[in-house]
Every structure is written in C-alpha cells, then in structure tokens.
Amino acid sequence: MDVEVLLVAEPGFEPIYAKPGDAGADLRSSEQLLLPARSRALVKTGVRIALPEGYVGLVHPRSGLAAKHGITVLNTPGTVDAGYRGEIMVTLYNSSDEDFEVLVGDRIAQLVIQQVERANFVAVAELPGSERGETGFGSSGRS
C-alpha cells in the first residue's frame, strides 16, 4: 500500500521500517528539546501523511526508549485519522526521575498502519447476554 508523505522537515524524516517484517515504522524528532523528569512534551516529527479512507495510523512507544529511559507515548496509541493532513506530533512522557534529551533525528515512536471498520451504532432496549456479562476490571483473576 502506498502512503503519500509530505516532509515539513529536511529529507530523511520519512517513516522507515528498521527491519523486514516490522509492524511499526520509526518516527523521528525534527526538533531538539529537553524532556524534564516526570513531564511531557509534544514533539514534532516533520512528517505529514495522507492515509487512504478506511485506514488509521497508530503511534506507539519504542520499547527501547521505554525500557532504558522510561520514555513513552502518553496517549498510547496516538491516533492519526485518514482525514488528518497536519504534521504528526508525538506526546512523549518522561516517567523517570532524570531529564532526557531528545535530539534532531532521534527515533521517538513507531507508526503502525491498520485497516479499520466503521461501526453502525444501533440503539436497543436490551443487550444480548454473554458468558462474561457485566464483570469488568480484574474480573478474570490475577494471572
């Protein structure tokens, strides 16, 4: 599938799959900033895309940043709707007690493209039963 990309930063900021078979394409920071401990920042990627109707871009954290530095995407996954044409920006959160420097070109998140189905929501007087019923958070036990 082709996805049109408009760079609003210098060349080289296109989303790129690091290895064959990767689900997520790396997004890079197009700006340098200091992300203080226990804070968040909206970080520009220098990329605008045009997804086909029926698709969504999901912005996920990078596992290495999370495991090594406590850096994650705050609204995981971030949603890039098919109709959105602005610059993709990532809300990074520093969950650690140390400041974290983001440099221009750093890989800060992954973009996963998925096909989506639009639901037709139908009002009813009662929902059909299920084995789970109304049980919610933690209802299936600890393990």
Domain assignment of residue 106, given as a range: 4-115
Contact 36, 90 (CB under 8 A): no
Average pLDDT of the chain, as a whole number:
95
| Residue 26, token pair as written in the block | 């790396």
Q: How many helices (H) does the chain have, and how many strands (E)?
A: 1, 10
Using the 8-state DSSP alphabet, how is residue 52 labeled? P
Number of domains in the chain: 1
Query: Would 142 be classed as within a structural domain?
Result: no
**Which amino acid appears at position 60 of this protein?**
H
Q: Percent of the chain, pLDDT > 70?
A: 97
Note the pTM of the prediction, 2 decimals: 0.88
Burial-class residue 45 by CB neighbours within 10 Å (0-12, 13-18, 19+).
Answer: buried
Within-domain flag for 132: no
Q: Answer whether residue 52 is part of any domain.
A: yes
pLDDT at 75: 93
What φ, ψ does residue 66 adopt, rounded to 5°?
-65, -50
pLDDT at residue 8 above 80?
yes
pLDDT of residue 41: 98
> Is-contact 13 46, C-beta < 8 A?
yes
Between CA 130 and CA 74 the distance in angstroms is 33
Contacts of 98 by beta carbon, 8 Å cutoff, 6+ apart: 37, 69
Which comes out higher in pLDDT, residue 67 or 12? Answer: 67
pLDDT 10s digits, 23-69: 999 999 999 999 999 999 999 999 999 999 999 999 999 999 999 99
Q: Tell me what the mean pLDDT of segment 94-120 comes to.
A: 97
CATH, residue 11: 2.70.40.10
* 110 pLDDT tier (thresholds 50, 70, 90): very high
53 domain residue, yes or no:
yes
Query: So what's the pLDDT on residue 143?
Result: 62
**Is a pLDDT exceeding 70 seen at residue 130?**
yes
Say what the pLDDT of residue 133 is.
86
